[in-house]
């Protein structure tokens, strides 16, 4: 089955979807409210520029990729399902649990895929880390924390938690394998009143594990780092690093035989991972889901667990 998709929104991030689906031979149309933008990509990739209504009514389009503002996700997705299309929607799935549930209900009723763009679940380094943890490579997880920090891009429509943290929450829930028992969030608005520039999120899990997220665009340098600490080792996924340093394993030991615990430090070792482009892998995963080869990894249930954490941890 040759799947064709329409990309809805060709802006800052949507243009990357346009490129990847075109390279995969699956781009069927582009849609953008700014006509010159739509025409630009239509001419570049040799596909029609359609209105949203035309795209979801077209028999040539099997699915839509929604890279539009989150407040529009639910209505766009439900309209697509009512026309028998599969849906890949960017993160977060929605801004309210009610809208997210509406999307899931519509997808189930249509018998079509609902996939959410939690991109780092498809990053080869995180895939390797997730499988290593699931295989017991670190023993029981004790705690994990993620920093997603940079200087800008400043937003005025959402805070740093909603802009950055969906990726981190998605990764942490995947590593711990369950939703947290409790969530607490806090943050500060320093540049734009009412829009938190730095946000912190704390999660606790039923087995005693803990996870923390710091997200900010008011930071002196770029830092994308996930640290996972288990009983038998520690791992670091640093997306802003290069080569082997991107995914590191530390086998530090703690000697508790004496009156004071003493660390025995070990040099880090590289954990091997692939070199596939995360977004291309994610796009191919959606095409395979449309073709019935598998259910989406980042499906509605996974996305709703992430959304629930974001809502409970709303900074302020």
CA angle 67–279–187, rounded 5-degree value: 65
255 touches 262 (CB < 8 A): yes
119 touches 239 (CB < 8 A): no
52 touches 8 (CB < 8 A): yes
Convert the pLDDT of each residue in 84-127 to its tens digit.
999 999 999 999 999 999 999 999 999 999 999 999 999 999 99
Share of the chain above pLDDT 90, in %: 90
275 touches 124 (CB < 8 A): yes
Give the pairing type, strands 114-117 and 247-250. unpaired
Convert the pLDDT of each residue in 264-281 to its tens digit.
898 999 999 999 999 999
- Domains in the chain, please, with CATH? 5-112 (3.40.50.720), 121-276 (3.30.360.10)
Convert the pLDDT of each residue in 24-39 to its tens digit.
999 999 999 999 999 9
Radius of gyration of the chain, Cα coordinates, nearest whole angstrom: 21
Q: Does 153 have pLDDT greater than 90?
A: no
Q: Is 187 helix (H, G, I), strand (E, B) or coil?
A: strand
- Residue 1, pLDDT score: 61
Q: Does 254 have pLDDT greater than 90?
A: no
Residue 147 DSSP class: E
- Residue 156, pLDDT score: 77
204 touches 210 (CB < 8 A): yes
Answer yes or no: pTM beyond 0.85.
yes
- Residue 316, pLDDT score: 43
- Residue 238, pLDDT score: 96
Convert the pLDDT of each residue in 56-87 to its tens digit.
999 999 999 999 999 999 999 999 999 999 99
What are the C-alpha distances in Å from 93 to residues 57, 114, 139, 273?
Answer: 23, 10, 32, 28
Whole-angstrom distance, CA of residue 119 vs CA of residue 316: 27
Helix (H) / strand (E) element for 134: namely helix 124-134
What are the phi and psi torsion angles at 225 (to 5°)?
Answer: -140, 130
Q: What would the two tokens of residue 188 be?
A: 């500060």
Q: Does 157 have pLDDT greater than 80?
A: no
């Amino acid at each position: 089955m040759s799947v064709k998709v329409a990309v809805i929104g060709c802006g800052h991030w949507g243009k990357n979807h346009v490129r990847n689906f075109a390279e995969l031979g699956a781009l069927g149309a582009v849609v953008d409210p700014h006509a010159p933008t739509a025409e630009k990509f239509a001419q570049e990739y040799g596909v029609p520029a359609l209105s949203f209504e035309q795209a979801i009514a077209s028999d040539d389009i099997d699915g839509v990729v929604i890279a539009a503002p989150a407040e529009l996700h639910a209505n766009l997705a439900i309209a697509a399902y009512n026309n028998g299309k599969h849906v890949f929607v960017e993160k977060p799935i929605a801004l309210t649990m009610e809208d997210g549930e509406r999307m899931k209900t519509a997808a189930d009723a249509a018998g079509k895929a609902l996939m959410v763009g939690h991109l780092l679940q498809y990053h080869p380094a995180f895939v390797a880390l997730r499988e290593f943890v699931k295989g017991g490579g670190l023993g029981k997880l004790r705690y994990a924390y993620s920093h997603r920090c940079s200087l800008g891009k400043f937003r005025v429509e959402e805070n740093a938690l909603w802009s950055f943290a969906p990726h981190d929450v998605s990764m942490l829930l995947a590593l711990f394998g369950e939703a947290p028992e409790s969530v607490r969030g806090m943050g500060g608005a320093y540049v734009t009143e009412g829009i938190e520039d730095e946000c912190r999120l704390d999660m606790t899990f039923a087995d005693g594990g803990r996870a923390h997220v710091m997200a900010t665009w008011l930071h002196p340098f770029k830092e994308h780092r996930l640290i996972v600490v288990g009983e038998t080792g520690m791992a670091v996924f640093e997306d802003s690093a290069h080569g082997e340093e991107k995914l590191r394993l530390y086998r530090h030991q703690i000697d508790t035989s004496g009156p004071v615990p003493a660390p025995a430090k070990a040099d880090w070792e590289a954990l091997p991972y692939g070199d596939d482009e995360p977004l291309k892998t994610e796009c191919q995963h959606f095409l395979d889901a449309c073709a019935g080869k598998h259910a989406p990894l980042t499906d509605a249930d996974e996305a709703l667990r992430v959304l629930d954490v974001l809502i409970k941890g709303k900074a302020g």
